[in-house]
Amino acid sequence: MKHLLHHIRKFLFASDFIVWKWLLKIFWKPSPHKPEYFIQRYLGNLDEVYFIQIGANDGLVRDPLIHFITLNKHWKGILLEPLPDVFSKELKPLHHKRQHIHLLNAAIGKDSGNAVIYRIAFSKKRWATGLTSFKKETLLSKIEDGYVERCAHKYGDKLPEDVSRWIAEEYIQTVTFDQLLDEYKLPQLNLLQIDAEGFDGEVIRMFPFHRLKPHIISFEHEHMKMEEKLECFEMLKEQKYILTILERDAIARLAERFS
């Protein structure tokens, strides 16, 4: 039943049905404990929103932008997902009809080219692809605390007896922020949305703030080490951002744009 409901939900969010959009507008209310609440609060009334999303995954499950993209054609953005299978089978079918959305099968890097990323080896289900990271220690920590084993049992995935076979390396394409800004020529960047499983701080440090400052930066701090987390927060404060810290995520808003 859950599998069927997921496919129905995927079909609806990929559609342009007026009734579906009408229902979303009436019944969707973002939780004040989620990034969506703050994105709606600060960007919800703008005539145009330009955004970049790093680590889009399937674009649907626990995605903070899917409602905004579905309801608003004036939300124009670039979605990056590095895993080729997730990109081609999940993200691309979801958004391929939307002319205002650009999809890239790549990750953000310091240089353009190729890089190694780490993923769960024995499953391609959403719970597993969502753990993919440039940081192998992020996956190792999820193995050590039992999270991977619990998810495998919950979703019916067989665990290899050899734990060393639980993680696989995969080569993926990388692009730089400068390349994105040069190619797509965004007039401004209202939102930088990041979900990079512990790599969020590095992604923020790669951004060319001297060139363009995102009005809102939404990112996940849950998998960052405390030292990395504090360094990231301090760097954003130096860039004149005001921080709102949630349980798993953080919202940085540019002080000159939002009091």
Q: What is the pLDDT along the chain (259 residues), one digit of tens a residue?
A: 777 888 899 999 999 899 999 999 999 999 999 999 999 999 999 999 999 999 999 999 999 999 999 999 999 999 999 999 999 999 999 999 999 999 999 999 999 999 999 999 999 999 999 999 999 999 999 999 999 999 999 999 999 999 999 999 999 999 999 999 999 999 999 999 999 999 999 999 999 999 999 999 999 999 999 999 999 999 999 999 999 999 999 999 999 999 7
What is the full DSSP assignment across 28-84? Answer: ----TTSHHHHHHHHHTT-S-EEEEEE--TTSSTT-SSHHHHHH-TTEEEEEE---H
Task: Confirm if 250 and 223 have CB atoms less than 8 A apart.
Answer: no
What is the distance of C-alpha 251 from the center of its chain? 13
Task: Confirm if 35 and 246 have CB atoms less than 8 A apart.
Answer: yes
What is the distance of C-alpha 71 from the center of its chain? 18
Q: What token pair was written down for 118? A: 């780490």
Q: Model-level pTM?
A: 0.96
CA angle 164, 157, 136 (to 5 degrees): 35
**pLDDT on residue 163:** 94
Q: Which of 88, 42, 106, 34 is nearest to 66 (CA)?
A: 34
CA angle 6, 11, 16 (to 5 degrees): 145
Sign of CA dihedral 13, 198, 53, 170: negative
Full strand arrangement of the beta sheet holding 241-245:
101-104, 75-80, 49-54, 191-194, 216-220, 249-254, 241-245
What is the distance of C-alpha 188 from the center of its chain? 19
**Side-chain half-sphere of 112: how many Cα atoms within 13 Å?**
7
**pLDDT on residue 239:** 97
Q: Which structural domains are found in the chain, ordered by start?
A: 2-108+176-254 (3.40.50.150), 114-171 (no CATH)
Q: What token pair was written down for 219? A: 């990112």
CB count, 10 Å around CB of 233? 18
**pLDDT on residue 236:** 98
